[in-house]
Amino acid sequence: MEFILPAEMKEVPVEEAKRYDLIIIGAGPAGMTAAVYAARKKLDTLVISKNVGGQTLLAPAVETYMGYHYITGAELMRKFEEQVRQFPIALSIGDEVTTLSREDNGFSVLTSQGKNFTGKAVIIASGRRARFLNVPREKELIGRGVSYCATCDAPLFGGMEVAVIGSGNPALTAVNELITYARKIYNIVQVSVKADPVLIEKAKKSGKVEFMSGYAVKEIQGEDKVERIVITQTKGDKEVILDVGGVFIEIGATPNVEFAQDVVPLNELNEIVVDCDCKTEVAGLFAAGDVTNVPEKQIIVAAGEGAKAALSAYHYLIES
């Protein structure tokens, strides 16, 4: 059993009155890497984030971050945090940015705790959150069998039959998390499974997983908890009812951009559009990681983009 403690706190005061060189929104891999690069350039930096670690906290096993053959997402993020806390970076954790706006020579950031910070430059590294399936009874049954976090909730489905909706790496990761607990796992996939072969092999080897390819979820049913789902063929009209007690929805993620949508252009997927220097169209505003249109949503990519964004912000600040 693991015993996880947050990284040791070296408090740097968070000040509203001051004008920061750089404000970083989000403390996932992208935001934390940006913070370290900014601090090494001696930029006076504030990081505001709902939590430390972001989506990577939900990754049960990371085997693609160089330097570590195998590490849990939680452990990796703890190491990132320790590195951030080596530097005099102000951290406002547990707060959420509600509005980002432009002001003379910089930006103003409002938070849900009612704080107002100002900075000369901003990096948005707010990542993504799970997408809804948007089928009947999904919202009503959230927390009653509908889940978006297999890492958190899988142990609650011991001995049950469950369904995982989705075809990518997150879906197959959820399937593999559930193998330890559930009796049977249906993987509902619209076209075909697109996950990494190692994840698919592990799922197949368990003997517990039934892949239902070519099906979409029509509705989730159940009064006060999930009792079954109705799925229909995507090319055909066959309808199948599966008696499951849990539905894990892993159909991708949507960028966290609501607070910024009036300031920065988004593409049709709601991603912040950046160039290869992580610059947005707005001078002084940068973005990095899963929130952007940069392809491949991976930890190592997000971290690399975070580094680039901080260095771009530094050049912007010394030039302006």
Ligand X SMILES: Cc1cc2nc3c(=O)[nH]c(=O)nc-3n(C[C@H](O)[C@H](O)[C@H](O)COP(=O)(O)OP(=O)(O)OC[C@H]3O[C@@H](n4cnc5c(N)ncnc54)[C@H](O)[C@@H]3O)c2cc1C
Residues that bind other proteins (CB under 8 A): 1-6, 8, 51, 53, 57-58, 60, 74, 94, 112, 142-145, 147, 149, 151-158, 224-226, 245-246
- Min. distance of Cβ 126 from ligand X in angstroms? 4
Q: What is the three-class DSSP state of 84?
A: helix
Q: Which is nearer to other proteins, 47 or 309 (CB)?
A: 47
Query: Smallest gap, in angstroms, from Cβ of residue 89 to other proteins?
Result: 21
* Positions that interact with ligand X (CB under 6 A): 25-31, 48-51, 54-56, 58-59, 62, 64, 96-97, 125-128, 170, 173, 256, 259, 289-291, 297-300, 302
Buried b / exposed e over 61-73, threshold 16 CB at 10 Å, is: ebeebeeeeebbb
Helices 73-84 and 29-40, packing angle to 10 deg: 20
Q: Which of the listed partners (ligand X, other proteins, none) does 182 bind, with a CB threshold of 5 to 8 Å by partner kind?
A: none
Name 228's bridge partners.
Answer: 221
Least spacing, CB of residue 291 vs other proteins, in Å: 19
Element (DSSP H or E) covering residue 80: helix 73-84
- How far is it, in rounded angstroms, from Cα 102 to Cα 259? 12
CB of 2 to other proteins, least distance (A): 6
Partner from other proteins, ligand X, none contacting 59, C-beta within 5 to 8 A by type:
ligand X
Q: Which is nearer to ligand X, 175 or 189 (CB)?
A: 175
Tokens 């899988």, located at residue:
154
Residue 25 near which of other proteins, ligand X, none (CB within 5-8 Å, type-dependent) = ligand X
State the nearest-atom distance from the C-beta of 294 to other proteins, in Å.
25
Of the two residues 55 and 147, which places its CB atom closer to ligand X in the complex?
55
Q: Which of 183, 205, 203 is nearest to 193 (CA)?
A: 203
* Residue among 142 and 266 whose Cβ is closer to other proteins: 142
Is there a contact between 312 and 286 (Cβ–Cβ < 8 Å)? yes
Q: Please return the burial class of 107, using the count of CB atoms within 10 Å of its CB with bins 0-12, 13-18 and 19+.
A: buried
Task: Give the tokens for residue 279.
Answer: 């610059």
63/275 with CB nearer other proteins: 63
Q: Measuring CA to CA, how many Å separate 17 from each of 13, 29, 115, 119, 120?
A: 11, 28, 10, 11, 14
Q: Report the partner that residue 29 touches, choosing among ligand X, other proteins, none (CB closer than 5 to 8 A by kind).
A: ligand X
